[in-house]
């Protein structure tokens, strides 16, 4: 009976929590990557930031 209880906890709590944390980590990574990309684009496109 103990195995069934642990399986129930695993299915209903740990798996969804792992999925949510994985999605949150992926979203944070994509946001960081996009922010760095936009900062680089702004640096290249702003005329006053370039050396004369």
pLDDT digits (tens, 9 = 90+) for 1-52: 556 688 888 888 889 999 999 999 999 999 999 999 999 998 888 777 656 5
State how far the Cα of 25 lies from the Cα of 22, in Å rounded to an integer: 5
The DSSP secondary-structure symbol of 51 reads -
pLDDT score at 50: 58
Cβ–Cβ under 8 Å, residues 49 and 43: yes
pLDDT score at 7: 85
Q: pTM for the complete prediction? A: 0.66
């Amino acid at each position: 009976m103990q195995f069934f209880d642990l399986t129930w906890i695993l299915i209903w709590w740990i798996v969804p929590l792992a999925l949510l944390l994985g999605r949150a980590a992926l979203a944070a990574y994509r946001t960081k990557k996009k922010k760095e990309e936009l900062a680089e684009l702004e640096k290249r496109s702003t005329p006053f930031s370039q050396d004369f």
